[in-house]
């Protein structure tokens, strides 16, 4: 386990929208390089960059056409290597996004596999042997698009054919086992891609749809896990300082399979969704809310918010039950703490931004929890200033997700400092009402969200109790009680999202000073007292 993860806080960058330095309206790698000091100053010391490789961008780059080439719109391979170098000089690690489950239909491997004549890539994807035979039962497939007499399996959108890592239990002659030469060739090709970038300074990968590799896998993902264990062996042997973060959301399986960290999202795993009990997952409502009434872009006054029923914990007086989070989280944590880390995230490029449902004060409390939970947290660009979810039509396969992918808000004035291009040339429009959610507007302002984030991350780095693997213990949590108190090593965190002053007695008589807070709270003679909407680190 690379030691740097203990103190790592990641910053996720959607490169399209971060910072444009060549006035073409789209972010670039040079833009990331120029903002490294800002990221460091925020308290983040690692990056996850969404796919920045050559692609037709039908799924924002998750449809890779060439794994070894930076998309020209972001710059060159040399620029990316310069980013690794400059980031390292500043003590920042860089993770790229690896999409191992599928390529673009424009990838050379796929084009070759479509050919009638058998060749080296014929089995790189999963093809049936007849144009009317489904490539797999229950899996989406496409026919009629190639000279090759067969149909091929998809992994996500139509533009993303599934790579062939084999089947746990093949049912048809064209389905191979995970130990077959074709499946091994795919795995080795993906390892070659990883080596290509790690040899040039990349510090590892966030792995897209990590659980999706082996088809018809069992519940325990036996086949897929075998592949990742093999990959992890390569990491341990040749790249011991590099890390693998999975988009899997089942740490019991993913960490056992060799991942160092696994994202905490809602899908996957036997437990009922736990994450959306903290902050409501608006995913299934975003299209409806945005496109039908067009009025809600995250700035609805608090008084009008009940229109959107939201019983998440961080919504003030939402009548939530924190046990819906604490019980499954603690269980998962106990089961996996010796294997690797759970990674909480403020949100990501696939979800609705938290500012959609939470006020600025609520966001501060939400982040105070995320950044002090055990594990390795991720901050999505712009969440540190409370960027809003926008009401937008789809771009590059984003659909409802597009609203969370708008340009970073740096300054007041032209394009909120994102780009010097004409406004209508921008990748996506900037928030027309975003002037207050900019770095410039919040920098140095005592009560701003940005400064709160800086403060809590500074505390995280300062005290060993907040490191990724410091022990986590719940000290106070009860159904229908807003007050949550837990310890991390020798530190104590107390959070009260409600509008009332709350109090709880701990199993001790100690008194402590606050080391960081939003709002007012005390710990005296074993009694924690918190004012409304407060979070305190003791
Ligand atoms: C998950 C990624 O985060 C998402 O953006 C993408 O569309 C799918 N996987 C397919 O690669």
What pLDDT score does 522 carry? 98
What's the pTM value of the predicted model, to 2 decimals? 0.96
Is pLDDT of 284 > 70? no
User: How crowded is residue 165: how many other Cβ atoms within 10 Å of its Cβ?
Assistant: 26
| Alpha-carbon gap, residue 522 to 455, rounded angstroms | 18
What pLDDT score does 308 carry? 58
Crossing angle for the helix pair 222-238 and 181-198, nearest 10 degrees? 40
Same domain, residue pair 437 and 484: no
**Average of per-residue pLDDT across 206-229:** 97
Same domain, residue pair 344 and 450: yes
CB proximity list for 311: less than 8 A, separation 6 or greater: 280, 318, 319, 320
In the beta sheet, which residues pair with residue 261?
A: 245, 341
Pocket test for ligand 1, best of 16, 101, 209 (most atoms within 8 A of CB): 209
- Does ligand 1 lie within 6 Å of residue 381's CB atom? no
Same domain, residue pair 457 and 522: no
pLDDT category of residue 156 using cuts at 50, 70 and 90? very high
Q: Specify whether the CB–CB gap between 136 and 124 falls below 8 A.
A: no
Is pLDDT of 158 > 50? yes
Same domain, residue pair 383 and 485: no
Q: Which residue has the higher pLDDT, 311 or 440?
A: 440
Which residue lies with its CA nearest to atom 6 of ligand 1?
A: 62
User: How crowded is residue 519: how many other Cβ atoms within 10 Å of its Cβ?
Assistant: 16
The total number of structural domains that make up the chain: 2
| Alpha-carbon gap, residue 449 to 441, rounded angstroms | 10
Same domain, residue pair 332 and 452: yes
Nearest to 468 by CA among 534, 349, 346, 378: 378
Q: What is the torsional sign of CA 81, 205, 258, 160?
A: negative
**Residue with the two structure tokens 């410039």:** 440
- The Cβ-side half-sphere exposure at 78, using a 13 Å CA radius, reads 0
- What Rg do the C-alpha atoms of the chain give, in angstroms? 24
- Does ligand 1 lie within 6 Å of residue 59's CB atom? yes
Q: What is the mean pLDDT of the chain?
A: 93
Nearest to 232 by CA among 260, 208, 210, 190: 260
Same domain, residue pair 434 and 533: no
Q: Specify whether the CB–CB gap between 164 and 101 falls below 8 A.
A: no
Cα(61) to ligand 1 centroid in Å equals 9
Which residue lies with its CA nearest to atom 5 of ligand 1?
A: 350
Domain-located, residue 157: no
Per-residue pLDDT of 296-331, as tens digits, reads 444 444 444 544 567 889 989 888 889 989 998 999
**Average of per-residue pLDDT across 265-288:** 63
Domain-located, residue 224: no
Domain-located, residue 259: no
Per-residue pLDDT of 94-120, as tens digits, reads 999 999 999 999 999 999 999 999 999
| Alpha-carbon gap, residue 64 to 110, rounded angstroms | 11
Instruction: Read off the DSSP letter of residue 256.
Output: T
Instruction: Read off the DSSP letter of residue 351.
Output: S
- Does ligand 1 lie within 6 Å of residue 97's CB atom? no
**Average of per-residue pLDDT across 130-155:** 95
- Catalytic positions, please? 208, 247
Same domain, residue pair 434 and 491: no
What pLDDT score does 293 carry? 39
**Residue with the two structure tokens 């409806």:** 288
Q: Specify whether the CB–CB gap between 252 and 336 falls below 8 A.
A: yes
Ligand 1 atom closest to the CA of 63, numbered from 1: 11
What are the φ/ψ torsions at residue 486 (nearest 5 degrees)?
Answer: -145, 160
Nearest to 452 by CA among 518, 513, 515: 518
Same domain, residue pair 523 and 404: no
Same domain, residue pair 51 and 16: yes
Query: SS3 of 296, please?
Result: coil
Domain-located, residue 307: yes
Instruction: Give the chain's length.
Output: 538
Domain-located, residue 62: yes
Please give, one letter per residue, the 3-state secondary structure of 376-437.
CCEEECCHHHCCCCCCCCCCCCCHHHHHHCCCCCCCCCHHHHCCCCCHHHCCCCCCCCCCCC
Same domain, residue pair 372 and 438: yes
Burial 52-77 (b: 16+ CB within 10 A, else e): bbbbbbbbbbbbbbbbeebbebbbee
Same domain, residue pair 444 and 489: no
Ligand 1 atom closest to the CA of 348, numbered from 1: 3
Is pLDDT of 138 > 90? no
CATH number at residue 479: 2.60.40.1180
Instruction: Read off the DSSP letter of residue 292.
Output: I
**Residue with the two structure tokens 């795995």:** 187
| Residues 262, 264, 267, 269, Cα dihedral to 10° | 60
The helix (run of H) or strand (run of E) holding residue 243 is strand 243-246
Last residue of a domain, one of 449, 465, 481: 465
CATH number at residue 351: 3.20.20.80
Is pLDDT of 20 > 80? yes
In the beta sheet, which residues pair with residue 522?
A: 529
Domain-located, residue 249: no
Per-residue pLDDT of 159-178, as tens digits, reads 999 999 999 999 999 999 99
Last residue of a domain, one of 419, 446, 465: 465
Is pLDDT of 526 > 80? yes
Q: Specify whether the CB–CB gap between 182 and 164 falls below 8 A.
A: yes
Burial 303-334 (b: 16+ CB within 10 A, else e): eebeeeebebbbbbebebbbbbbbbbbbebbe
Domain-located, residue 19: yes
Cα(123) to ligand 1 centroid in Å equals 24
Measured CA angle at 170 (ends 169, 171), to 5 deg: 115
Same domain, residue pair 457 and 491: no
The helix (run of H) or strand (run of E) holding residue 360 is helix 360-370
Domain-located, residue 8: yes
Q: Specify whether the CB–CB gap between 139 and 127 falls below 8 A.
A: no
Q: Specify whether the CB–CB gap between 438 and 411 falls below 8 A.
A: yes
Residue ranges making up the domain that contains 488: 471-537
Last residue of a domain, one of 407, 435, 465: 465
- Does ligand 1 lie within 6 Å of residue 99's CB atom? yes
- Residue 459 tokens read as 């505390």
Burial 457-466 (b: 16+ CB within 10 A, else e): bebbeebebb
Ligand 1 atom closest to the CA of 99, numbered from 1: 11
Q: Specify whether the CB–CB gap between 261 and 245 falls below 8 A.
A: yes
Query: SS3 of 159, please?
Result: coil
- Does ligand 1 lie within 6 Å of residue 157's CB atom? no
What pLDDT score does 267 carry? 54
What are the φ/ψ torsions at residue 153 (nearest 5 degrees)?
Answer: -85, 145
């Amino acid at each position: 386990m690379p030691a740097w993860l203990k103190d790592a806080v990641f910053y996720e960058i959607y490169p399209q929208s971060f910072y444009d330095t060549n006035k073409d309206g789209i972010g670039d790698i040079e833009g990331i390089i120029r903002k490294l000091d800002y990221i460091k100053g925020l308290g983040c010391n690692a990056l996850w960059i969404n796919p920045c490789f050559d692609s037709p961008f039908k799924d924002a780059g998750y449809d890779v056409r060439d794994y070894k080439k930076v998309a020209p719109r972001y710059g060159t391979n040399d620029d990316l290597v310069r980013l690794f170098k400059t980031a390292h000089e500043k003590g920042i690690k860089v993770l790229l996004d690896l999409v191992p489950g599928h390529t673009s239909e424009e990838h050379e491997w796929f084009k070759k596999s479509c050919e009638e004549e058998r060749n080296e890539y014929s089995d790189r994807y999963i093809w049936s042997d007849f144009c009317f035979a489904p490539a797999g039962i229950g899996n989406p497939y496409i026919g009629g698009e190639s000279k090759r007499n067969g149909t091929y399996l998809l992994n996500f959108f139509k533009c993303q054919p599934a790579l062939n890592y084999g089947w746990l239990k093949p049912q048809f002659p064209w389905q191979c086992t995970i130990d077959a030469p074709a499946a091994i060739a795919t795995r080795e090709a993906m390892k070659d891609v990883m080596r290509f970038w790690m040899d040039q300074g990349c510090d590892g990968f966030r792995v897209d749809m990590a659980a999706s590799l082996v088809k018809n896998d069992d519940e325990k993902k036996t086949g897929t896990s075998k592949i990742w264990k093999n990959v992890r062996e390569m990491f341990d042997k040749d790249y011991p300082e590099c890390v693998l973060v999975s988009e899997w959301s089942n740490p019991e399986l993913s960490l056992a399979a060799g991942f160092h960290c696994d994202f905490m999202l809602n899908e996957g795993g036997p437990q009922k969704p736990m994450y959306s009990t903290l902050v409501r997952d608006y995913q299934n409502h975003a299209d409806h809310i945005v496109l039908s009434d067009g009025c809600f872009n995250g700035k609805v006054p608090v008084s009008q918010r009940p229109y959107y029923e939201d019983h998440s914990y961080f919504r003030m007086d939402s009548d939530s039950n924190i046990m819906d989070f604490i019980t499954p989280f603690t269980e998962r944590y106990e089961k996996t703490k010796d294997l690797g880390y759970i990674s909480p995230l403020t949100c990501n490029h696939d979800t609705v931004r938290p500012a959609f449902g939470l006020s600025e004060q609520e966001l501060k409390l939400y982040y105070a929890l995320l950044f002090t939970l055990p594990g390795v947290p991720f901050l999505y660009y712009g969440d540190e200033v409370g960027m809003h979810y926008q009401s937008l039509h789809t771009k590059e396969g984003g659909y409802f997700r597009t609203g969370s992918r708008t340009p970073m808000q740096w300054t007041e004035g032209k394009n909120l400092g994102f780009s010097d291009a004409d406004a209508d040339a921008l990748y996506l429009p900037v928030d027309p009402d975003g002037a207050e959610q900019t770095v410039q507007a919040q920098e140095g302002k005592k009560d701003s969200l940005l400064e709160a984030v800086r403060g809590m991350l500074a505390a995280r780095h300062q005290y060993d109790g907040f490191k990724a693997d410091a022990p986590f213990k719940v000290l106070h949590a009860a159904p229908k009680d807003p007050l949550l108190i837990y310890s991390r090593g020798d530190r104590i965190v107390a959070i009260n999202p409600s509008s009332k002053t709350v109090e709880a007695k701990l199993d001790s008589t100690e008194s402590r000073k606050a080391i960081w807070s939003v709002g007012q709270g005390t710990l005296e003679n074993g009694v924690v007292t918190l004012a409304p909407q407060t979070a305190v680190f003791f």
